[in-house]
Structure 1
């Protein structure tokens, strides 16, 4: 039954999920049914700084978040190469990242996937923003960023001090990121 409800929320047209109220309601429902995270795992809460995440890029170099882009707002998107909605939103994320440049909102992708699969995917669908790698699981970056149920795609917006401002479950459509960030 919960799967049917989630499907109704995520599949078009689903106008409620495109609203802040709808997103918060969806996140509350998912959090209520999520497994208990491992003891001691720091999980981001709206309005608070996110826990430090230190993840490797495809070159193996570690990038600490949110410190790597301190002083700039950040949009962090969790995805996987096997996730259809994730793939559909990547051109929109890339467009937004290109528009923002070095002085605007910094976009970072975190692939909950195998590094080789991500490399192969990005050869076909390159993006202009950094991609980090993490293994999916009960303590992955998504869980630490408040996605305790592990639904993909999942995006968070941080302010310039690394505080969690917004969370979004589901893909962005054309032009939607700009309005979501500005609200």
Structure 2
């Protein structure tokens, strides 16, 4: 075996060993540690996006650093609200549904985080990909103080256009004060990570 082949073999074995280590850690401790890091989130998003269904015609995903489209959402009273109304302060958009266990579990955490923000701090905007009656029933039992809006779930909904190619919930997006996409996150927050993740 020549030297080039030996080097390639060693590198290949090293990569396979690293992948085996990652897989073993996921099996032993679950995906939590991976999901809690920015690098882990990017890996998960890349893997999830790789096998995602094709986007509908005319639907594009907003890249990080670009301004999010001025989505029109429906308020609980039926009024139309534009995403641009929330500019001027950073916005944490949390996509959720009443039938999503992890979404429901993180609602009190998001509510406490929203209440802790100063007047110029991060706004929390909950966007329910759910039907209005289910959202109303859920919030009657578990009210939150932050703004809740609704979007019609589907292959081209606003979460997909912000990077949620597989429509995984919960899904969160951090926008800066000018509406640019700064970060995205698949999965629920825990108390330790929310504050650090949402720092603009």
| TM-score for the superposition, normalised by structure 2 | 0.83
Instruction: State the alpha-carbon separation in 2 of the partners of residues 77 and 83 from structure 1.
Output: 13
The answer to whether the 8 Å contact 2:95/2:127 transfers is yes
For residue 110 of structure 1, give the secondary structure of its aligned residue in structure 2: strand
How many aligned positions are there? 175
The answer to whether the 8 Å contact 1:74/1:106 transfers is yes
Change (3 A) 1:97 1:49: same
For residue 93 of structure 2, give the secondary structure of its aligned residue in structure 1: strand
Q: Pairwise mapping of residues 93-112 of structure 1 onto structure 2 (< 5 A)?
A: 93-112=110-129
Query: What is the CA distance between 1:182 and its match in structure 2?
Result: 2.4
2:75 maps to: 57
> Which residue of 37, 45, 48 maps to 1:19?
37
Instruction: State the alpha-carbon separation in 2 of the partners of residues 117 and 175 from structure 1.
Output: 30
Render the CA deviation track for 1:7-47: whole Å, top value 9, x for unaligned.
x59x8562111000000000001111111111111321111
Larger radius of gyration: 2
1:31 maps to: 49
Query: What is the CA distance between 1:134 and its match in structure 2?
Result: 1.4
Render the CA deviation track for 1:113-139: whole Å, top value 9, x for unaligned.
010000000011111111111121101
2:10 maps to: none
**Quick check: which one's helix share is greater?**
2
Mapped pair 1:148 → 2:174: no
Instruction: State the alpha-carbon separation in 1 of the partners of residues 75 and 118 from structure 2.
Output: 19
For residue 197 of structure 2, give the secondary structure of its aligned residue in structure 1: helix
1:121 maps to: 138
For residue 154 of structure 2, give the secondary structure of its aligned residue in structure 1: coil
Query: What is the CA distance between 1:102 and its match in structure 2?
Result: 3.8
Instruction: State the alpha-carbon separation in 2 of the partners of residues 41 and 95 from structure 1.
Output: 34
Mapped pair 1:46 → 2:55: no
2:194 maps to: 177
Query: What is the CA distance between 1:103 and its match in structure 2?
Result: 2.3
Gaps of 5+ in 1: none
For residue 135 of structure 2, give the secondary structure of its aligned residue in structure 1: helix
Moved over 6 A (4+): none
1:69 maps to: 86
